[in-house]
Every structure is written in C-alpha cells, then in structure tokens.
Structure 1
C-alpha cells in the first residue's frame, strides 16, 4: 500500500523554476522517495506541450510562452487558478498513466458534485467539462515510471487570456470557472478541497 503523498502548498510561484524543480525531484527519486502533491498558483503564462503548435497561440498579449515537456497542446495558467502537480511513483502505486488520468478527472468531478455542479469527461479530450465548457485541464509527463505536471482547475481568474489561444488545441473551446458556477472560495480554498479528493482517489 502506497503511503499518502506529502502535500506542499507553495502559494504563487513562477512557472519555469517550478517546472525545473519537478524535473529535478523526479530525476533524483529513489524507490523509497515519498510521493508529493504541490498546490500552487502561477503568474500569467502560456505553456506549450510537446505536441503544441505555435499557431494555436492566436494573439500576443505580452504573456510569456514556455515550451515544456508535458503532453498536450497550449494552455493558460494565471492567478486564481488552482494548479496541482502530481509527483507520483506509478510503478509503486501499481497503475499506469491512463488510470492516473481517470483518477484525476474523477477527483475533479467528485469535487464539483459536492458543490452542486455536474461535470463530465469528454472522449478523446482529457480534462473535465461543465456542459460544453472546459473547467479543468490536464497534462502529464511520465519519466522512469514516475509522473510530474498535473492539472489546473479554473477557480476565480481572468479568463480573457483564453481568447488568445485555442485551448488544448481546440479552436473556439469555451472555458469556465467555479466562480461563474456559483461556487464560493478562491483558488487556495478550492485547491485544498481538490487535493483532499485527489489524495483519496490516488
């Protein structure tokens, strides 16, 4: 049985040093290294996954674009979004990346259900959706059987920068956030509740 992950609440931190810290943590792991979950927010940044195409960035808003090593296309991070990074040894946990994605999505769906909002998956498009609008984006990297990166749940943020991209490579995809669905609480509070669901789901 895997031990519960160590949870670290990092506050608002710059994207690139945090990404490098995830890489370093994963590279230095041993079979005995405890898993960790990092809860944080980022200043405004677009990240471009390994499959990411620059043409999915439609306008220059002066927001940095950082090419990174997770799966997926382009997404936006900004203040008021609960970002959760999952540094897990999947070999030790006994399941692979598809199962991990399913468990992450279910944790978000369960959290929103507790708050009176019905959310769902969408076939072929990882993440969590409320109606036609995406509320949580998901992107992972697996190295030597260990995951990093994770998910971003829109809580109480300026959604305008999404209009400058094709979110996750989908032109015209609508996005929403918990505040717009009548759910109270900022990124920290909602993020802490999300982490509880994730720890239970993993």
Structure 2
C-alpha cells in the first residue's frame, strides 16, 4: 500500500510569508496632510515594489472629514480641518492618541476590506482585554467601545489593491475637541480613552509606544491565525 504524503497549499504558504514580511515602523508625530500624501504615493506605486508595512504614529491636532462627511458646523477653534480620502465621517486626531496605519497589499495577504476591519477591531479589543478593560464592537457602528463610549475609531481607503489609513486608539489625550463634532457622524456619541479606563498607571511616552507596538503585534498575530484557518 502506497503511503500518502501531505502537501502544503502554495497559496497558504505565500500568504503566511507575506504576513511574516510585514514591517512595523514608528514614525513619531506627523502632520496629517503630509502623511496622507505619503500613503497615496505608496498606493500609486507598482504593486511589486510595495512592501507591506504598518505605520505607528501620532498626529498633530486636526479634524479630518472622511468621504461620507456632510457639511458640519464646527465651534470656533484653532484646530485645522482637512479633507481625508478615508471612508467615514468626521473625527479628531491629536497628541496622546495612538494611530496605526496598515499599508497592505490585500490580495497578497488574502484579505478583504471586511476582514481587515474585523481584524483591526479585534486587535484593539484584545489589547484592551489584557488591561482588564471590557471592550467590544457595536452593530452598524465600526470601531471599539467601552460601554457606550468609543475608544478606537476606524477609517480606511483601498486603492490599487493597497489599504491605507486605519485605526486611531485614544490613549491619554485631551478629549475636549471631540465635543465640537459628532464623532464619526453619530450625534452625542461619547468618547473615552485608555487612561480613564484603568485604575492606575504611568501614562508616559514609553508606555504609549509599548502599547502601540503591542497593538501592531496583536494585529499581525491575528493575520497569522487567519492563514491557518
């Protein structure tokens, strides 16, 4: 009787290799508009010359209006408002917020937009659970919530097969600017942050950076799990 030899799936192997090749870069504090232009330039590149990357960063204070944003009257403020090509409505970015942008070739990674959104959300949920914070999704309202308050928001764009923009995670920041808008288009939506959900802690740059890398690592590990399912 001839024995059978198990063969691996070449497609699965190539996807796993692509996940393993993802590189994480902490690029510090960045202006929103210039960062968007850099992401757009990468998306316009030939697919073969684009590596899969995750950018970890923090934006200077800014309101961004996504492609679904209706005209909204803002209270007087020194905070600039810029148009974004991500999906979604209006949100605020500022110091003390962790931003994670996955610049990924979706086909190479076997990812659709819905699965990318779910994986980003799950990464944030898992990291929050590790700090004993009960976080969850909400139906028809992308993002991550603690009770009824939003702690992480999502907005994505896919162009030429590459995802960009991504997830913003409220770490330890001034939440006041959110009161000038309907966050993500939801009137009266409460927002919260990591700092307000834990009993004690040293909320400094070193801890913020460690949490950002933990978020990226969890996201990559979830992608790896998908290749084995």
- Match of residue 219, structure 2, among 172, 190, 198: 198
Whether the aligned pair in 1 keeps the contact of 2:47 and 2:105 (CA below 8 Å) is no
Q: In structure 1, how many angstroms separate the alpha carbons of the residues matched to 2:179 and 2:209? A: 25
Q: Please report the RMSD computed on the Cα atoms of aligned residues, expressed in angstroms.
A: 1.3
- Match of residue 181, structure 1, among 193, 197, 222: 197
- Aligned partner of 1:164 in structure 2 is 180
Pairing 1:49-68 to 2, within 5 Å after superposition: 49-55=66-72, 57-68=73-84
Pairing 1:78-89 to 2, within 5 Å after superposition: 78-89=94-105
Normalised to the residue count of structure 2, the TM-score between the two structures is 0.84
Aligned CA distance change for structure 1 residues 98 and 64 (closer, same or farther; 3 Å): same
Q: In structure 2, how many angstroms separate the alpha carbons of the residues matched to 1:136 and 1:40? A: 15
Is there any run of 5+ residues in structure 2 with no aligned partner, and where?
1-15, 224-229
Pairing 1:72–2:96 present? no
Larger Rg: 2
Pairing 1:154–2:170 present? yes
- Match of residue 39, structure 1, among 56, 60, 64: 56
The answer to which of 178-187 and 118-127 deviates more is: 178-187
The answer to which of 112-121 and 30-39 deviates more is: 30-39
How many positions carry a matched residue from both structures? 201
Q: In structure 1, how many angstroms separate the alpha carbons of the residues matched to 2:184 and 2:56? A: 21
Pairwise CA distance, 1:197: 1.0
Pairwise CA distance, 1:32: 5.2
Q: In structure 2, how many angstroms separate the alpha carbons of the residues matched to 1:6 and 1:54? A: 37
Whether the aligned pair in 2 keeps the contact of 1:58 and 1:166 (CA below 8 Å) is no
- Aligned partner of 2:150 in structure 1 is 134
Pairing 1:8–2:25 present? yes
Q: In structure 2, how many angstroms separate the alpha carbons of the residues matched to 1:53 and 1:65? A: 13
Pairwise CA distance, 1:141: 0.2
Pairwise CA distance, 1:95: 2.0
Whether the aligned pair in 2 keeps the contact of 1:88 and 1:146 (CA below 8 Å) is yes
Q: In structure 2, how many angstroms separate the alpha carbons of the residues matched to 1:150 and 1:109? A: 15
